[in-house]
Amino acid sequence: MNMASMHSTICILSLFLILHFSTSHASSFTSKPTSPATLCNSTPFPFFCKSVLPQNQSATIYDYGRLSVRRSLATTSNLLSLVNNYLRFRRGLSETTILALQDCQLLLGLNIDFLSNSIQTIDPTNTLQSSQAEDTQTLLSAILTNQQTCLDGLQSTSSSPSIKNSLLTPLSNGSKLHSVSLALFWHGWVHETKKGRWLTERKQIFSDITLGRNGHLPLRIPRRDRKILERGSGRKLLQTDVDGVKVSQTVVVNPDGSGNFTTINDAVAAAPNKTKAGKGYFLIYVVAGVYEEYVSIPKNKYYLMMIGDGINQTVITGNRSVVDGWTTFNSATFAVVGQRFVAANITFRNTAGAIKHQAVAVRNGADLSAFVSCSFEGYQDTLYTHSLRQFYRECDIYGTVDFIFGNAAVVFQNCNIYPRLPMQGQFNAITAQGRTDINQNTGISFHNCSIAAADDLASSSGTTQTFLGRPWKEYSRTVYMQSFMDSLIDSAGWNNWSGDFALSTLYYAEYDNTGPGSVTAKRVTWPGYHVMNATDAANFTVSNFLLGDNWLLPTGVPYHGDLL
């Protein structure tokens, strides 16, 4: 047995023991009242947990779980009030500090929503349907991500000591409390079948859904909207299959004034708020052209669909960057938060260039969102898969350093990954996954994708090391399955972040890949690196990792649920 195989065997055994321990303890926790000390030992922060749960009492894990989530909500509300006060009296604050505080304002507001929804779900019952448990675990995972993003943003600014002293400690303690809430939820409400899923092969067959003609989504266009689309380039959209996605209203964006709006932002503002399930998508058709706009899809815009005329035809572009004073979070050309968002046939660009370092083309924090036949173009930090559940199909993604990053549960399927030529002295890292907690249901999965050098890298005379990823956070999780890797991939496969940070807690894995860069004989021998078998790989498919069969069908986005 070689060293890599030995590490893989040890880690699989360790994973089995951890999961067996979690499952058996979950059963004992739920059967009778338990002391806080016993419960807290099952969380990542036992001493902190014991300081917040009432002592000298015994109750069920459900009682303590509800209490912890409620305390998370109260703590978040207090933090948001503190941030709002700083923004209300902002005299003397630097512009970067104000931007970081505004990021926190948005993220903490989302956390209040997520915690409130979680309380509504767990308050009435000790038993949840598997889909309800998955939804709540997703929200509690995103709460931790949002808190960490706020913390990271403030730490990277030149904030005054008074702001850092008053915010960083409560933010850090808030993250620990959220982690305790997530752990108690995991042990109490998450189904035993979910906990055992990582060790049990699920043999299910799902059909592939195909796109309509010309690569567009199949759409059902209401008769009243067809006259709008029959003008000019809107005619192309009508050539698609009319069976499929339900659309409630269609508007056209065209800068020449022939559509309903001349800007994308005006069309987004016109979309109804909090559309109910079953009402259909508000479809924004963006005709070919270059749109120099910073577009944001806010949290109250549900079921919004945006379709362009194709990659390099409909282009949304900007050039914000960290070097020019923006936070990474707010450097995005296109940002989406509203759940159930779908985009197709659009190019998203950040043209700041490699010299401007972090410069995001798209930041996605929209639950149950999907992009199909889109292109994402940038250098460092191109695509920020920030949080919640996301799916990308038949997309092209260009970048250099950490150009696919974040802490969503995300699957890339049939996508083309194009590392570009970085600045002199830099290496390429395709991913920097940001999972901070062992109980978060997040990670990056590449399935049936292709990795090849972009034209500038392919034609360069120098040597650029290109890695599959590196661990941005302690429990970083990324897998590549049944994908093609060209010779540009370094034989080690993966790179470290700083010394031995996260090398034993990360989960990096490969399964059944092809191409000259896929050979695993000289891969890293970290404890957290694995060459998976089919049973383990099945956990990271669309059907299992995203539960995509529950939500992708109504989008009309094509997908394959299982391994090929």
How far is 41 from 21, CA to CA, in rounded Å? 12
DSSP-assigned beta bridge partners for residue 219: 245
The CA-atom distances, in angstroms, between 185 and each of 132, 441, 457 are 12, 12, 46
Q: Which residues contact 81 (CB under 8 A, 6 or more apart)?
A: none
The pair of structure tokens assigned to 551 is: 């939500």
**Catalytic (active-site) positions:** 402
Whether the CB-CB separation of 251 and 267 falls below 8 Å is answered with yes
DSSP string, 275-321: PPTTS-EEEEEE-SEEE---EEE-TT--SEEEE-S-TTTEEEEE---
SS3 544: helix
What is the 8-class DSSP label of residue 106?
H
Q: Which of 375, 459, 466 is nearest to 429 (CA)?
A: 466
Q: Could you give the CA distance from residue 458 to residue 336 in angstroms, rounded to a whole number?
A: 33
Q: How crowded is residue 357: how many other Cβ atoms within 10 Å of its Cβ?
A: 19
**Is the Cβ–Cβ distance between 295 and 271 less than 8 Å?**
no
Question: What tokens does 451 get?
Answer: 């990795």
Please tell me the distance from the alpha carbon of residue 361 to that of residue 231, in angstroms, as a whole number.
30
R_g of the chain computed on alpha carbons: 23
